[in-house]
């Protein structure tokens, strides 16, 4: 299976830079694993009645993203602590 290309919104990059370096590396590692195999990644859930289609759990953070299968693109919309991720609509 071909690897997906990952894109980040400006908001996602801005939020990622706010977190401690070790958390940034952990989040980026999980995003790389997601890009390599997006259909078999654990901790990924399809969201219902939400403005973003998917979320991935990474420790205390949530990576909100869209996945476009025909184009093989994963668009990272936002990266937030769990306490703020589900207030975003």
pLDDT > 70 fraction of the chain, expressed in percent and rounded: 96
Strands (DSSP E) contained in the chain are 5-8, 44-46, 54-58, 61-68, 73-81
DSSP one-letter code for 4: P
Q: Which domains does the chain have, with CATH numbers?
A: 5-84 (3.30.2310.20)
Q: β-pairing, 61-68 with 73-81?
A: antiparallel
pLDDT for residue 1 is more than 60? no
Q: How far apart are CA 36 and CA 45, in angstroms?
A: 17
pLDDT for residue 80 is more than 60? yes
pLDDT for residue 89 is more than 60? no
- Give the model's pLDDT for residue 88: 60
Give the residue, 1 or 38, on which the prediction is more confident.
38
| Cα–Cα distances in angstroms (integers) from residue 49 to residues 10, 17, 25, 52, 86, in the given order | 24, 28, 30, 9, 11
């Amino acid at each position: 299976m071909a690897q997906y290309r990952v894109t980040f919104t400006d908001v996602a990059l801005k939020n990622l830079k706010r977190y401690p370096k070790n958390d940034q590396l952990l989040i980026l590692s999980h995003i790389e694993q997601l890009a390599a195999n997006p259909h078999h990644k654990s901790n990924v859930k399809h969201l219902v009645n939400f403005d973003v289609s998917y979320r991935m759990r990474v420790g205390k953070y949530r990576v909100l993203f869209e996945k476009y299968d025909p184009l093989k693109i994963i668009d990272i919309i936002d990266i937030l602590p769990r306490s703020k991720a589900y207030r975003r609509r």
